[in-house]
Structure 1
Amino acid sequence: MSETWVDKVRAKVGTKKDLVRSGLAEFIGTFVLVLVINSVVAQQILPKNGTGNALIGVNVGVGLGIFFGVALSAKASGGHINPAVTIAFLVIQQIKPVKALVYIVAQTLGAFFGAVVTYLVYYNAINAFDGGRHQVIGTKATAGIFASYPAPHLGTVNGLFDQVVGAAVFVLIILHVVDRRSGYPGWAQPAVIGTGFVMIGTAFAYNAGYPLNPARDFAPRLFTLLAGYGGKTFSFNNYGWFWVPIVGPIIGGILGALIYNLFLGVHGHPAGDYEVVSTREVTVVTHNTNEKAAEHVVEA
């Protein structure tokens, strides 16, 4: 078979450096994640006469965004696509600090450009909805397409707790799925994780839309600031909100990882005494054998 142009480009610009490949995978996975999530929310907010996505449709769309975001990046990087997941894995020593930093930078950049493309796709629809006056609050507000804003009833402390609990449950699900003892085949893991996030959406969306991902919330919020939504994107609620979807998921992710290991991860399995001890390749230790399986992990 003759060499294709793809083969020629791969030979010239393709990289074998693991950090570069992993960073590119985290970028594109998070890009797809945020593009899908922002677009799904846009179709909830922008249509008139109640024709937009219902909340269950949003939950399913977000879950599918996670599914494909993880699937795209899992082979190269493990498919974290969420700094809260990466930091949780760092705390339990399943990823090295340098690689974690590369992941977080790539995730943030991917989320930013995901928001940019969403804005361009829905540019006319957004302007038709708000008359070109991009607003953070009010009946014509469209900033919520890109980043989370709390419901009127939600206080800062309760909002922080909301994010901690939601992220803890999500990381708990992720660790369960990627633990070799659970028996999920690699091809099924992104789907199970995405389905898990649909469940989280149906349980935790009421307070603040369950962002549960620092990159997914911060980077699009920064974009809206640059796109003309004004300083209210960060000063909303007297600066009492923008940091909550950053700090809360990080705390929750670490808590979820520790809970999983305390209650399940460190205990022997009746059939083989398995133990998960590394990152992108999850080392599974049995009584007599060492096996390695690619891990697939994410987020929202």
Structure 2
Amino acid sequence: MKNKRNTLAGELSAEFAGTMILILFGCGVVASVVAAARGDADSISWAWGFGVVLGIYTAGKITGAHLNPAVTIALATFRGFSWSKVLPYSAAQLAGAFVAALIVRFTYWDMIKAFDPETGKASMGIFFTSPGVGADGNQISILNAFGDQIVGTAILVFLVFALTTATNAPPLANLTPLFVGFIVVAIGMAWGANAGYAINPARDLGPRLAAWITGYGNQVFEAAGSGDIYFWVPIIAPVIGGLIGGAAFKYLVEIHLPDEDPEDPAVTGEKGVQSDPV
């Protein structure tokens, strides 16, 4: 049987589906915790991590499962991914996140309405991120949130590169998605307080747009604790963070690694996550 070569349409379909799976579990668990009081912050971190794992297994064979425009841009910058595919991949990821958020919105419609009859800022966090609130009751600054998103995404991309570089003794390809999921769980637990660890422009903007058209209105572009315009932070900062993380791995680790051994199973084995599709 002749092997099928990936087409751009197939790659975009995989990115759409993988990101949709990620958001179904991510926004779904936040809806469960916020609107139904089932679970806590750790529940959110773990379900987001499992969503990443399952999203990667969904799309990994076709695209390597970027699922994140910040990752796609970092791969184009440091790993030779085609720049001509960056915008289409990002659009597919955004569309997948948008559709998944609509599914969560309508599935949890009654629960959200009971929790937040005004469909306002009390329940917006189900779908997208916002600056956190400190012990003094004050919202953290937009600048602090911007920096937080840079740091969180830099950590994500640095470690994704570490796990997917063949000469860096990574896990076998079929286990890589699990470890990437663990990265997201750890980031959620360690870096979730300041700004909700969006670390992914599509993850934040897609659900934000879904909320906007389903009753939340223009307040979705503001921080939950104030009228500050915030929607741009989880779009711009993760891209910057991804580039910093990719550069940090390249210049702190990758340039010091040995050359690839063609007989090494890590090099000749299955295609790993986040690789450039062939």
TM-score between both structures, scaled by the size of structure 2: 0.89
Amino acid of the structure 2 residue aligned with 1:214 = P
* Structure of higher CA gyration radius: 1
Residue 136 of structure 2 corresponds to none
| Equivalent residues in 2 for 1:80-159, closer than 5 Å | 80-131=66-117, 133-136=118-121, 141-152=122-133, 153-159=139-145
Q: Distance in 2 between matches of 1:20 and 1:129?
A: 40
Q: Distance in 2 between matches of 1:205 and 1:93?
A: 28
Residue 228 of structure 1 corresponds to 215
Among 52, 55, 59, which residue is 2:41 paired with? 55
Q: Distance in 1 between matches of 2:244 and 2:5?
A: 34
Residue 62 of structure 2 corresponds to 76
Call closer, same or farther: CA 1:164–1:33 in 2, change over 3 Å: same
Among 175, 183, 196, which residue is 2:170 paired with? 183
1:295 aligns with 2:275: no
Structure 1 residue 28: deviation in Å?
0.3
Structure 1 residue 63: deviation in Å?
0.4
TM-score between both structures, scaled by the size of structure 1: 0.83
Structure 1 residue 40: deviation in Å?
0.5
Report SS of the residue matched to 1:253: helix
The one-character-per-residue Cα deviations of 1:81-104 (angstroms, maximum 9, x if unpaired) are 000100111111421012222211
Q: Distance in 2 between matches of 1:206 and 1:235?
A: 18
| Equivalent residues in 2 for 1:249-260, closer than 5 Å | 249-260=238-249
Report SS of the residue matched to 1:241: coil
8 Å contact 2:6–2:62 — kept in the other structure?
no
Structure 1 residue 19: deviation in Å?
0.9
Call closer, same or farther: CA 1:17–1:72 in 2, change over 3 Å: closer
Where in structure 1 are there 5+ consecutive unaligned residues? Answer: 1-14, 275-283
Q: Distance in 2 between matches of 1:258 and 1:285?
A: 26
Report SS of the residue matched to 2:14: helix
Structure 1 residue 52: deviation in Å?
2.1
Q: Distance in 1 between matches of 2:243 and 2:262?
A: 24
Structure 1 residue 297: deviation in Å?
2.8
Q: Distance in 2 between matches of 1:110 and 1:246?
A: 16
Structure 1 vs Structure 2 CA RMSD: 2.0
Among 218, 227, 240, which residue is 2:229 paired with? 240
How many pairs are equivalent? 262
Identical counterparts, % of pairs: 32
Structure 1 residue 293: deviation in Å?
4.8
| Equivalent residues in 2 for 1:183-222, closer than 5 Å | 183-222=170-209
Q: Distance in 2 between matches of 1:36 and 1:90?
A: 28
Q: Distance in 2 between matches of 1:122 and 1:175?
A: 36
Call closer, same or farther: CA 1:295–1:227 in 2, change over 3 Å: same
Structure 1 residue 220: deviation in Å?
0.7
Call closer, same or farther: CA 1:238–1:125 in 2, change over 3 Å: closer
Amino acid of the structure 1 residue aligned with 2:54 = F
Structure 1 residue 197: deviation in Å?
0.9
8 Å contact 1:38–1:118 — kept in the other structure?
yes
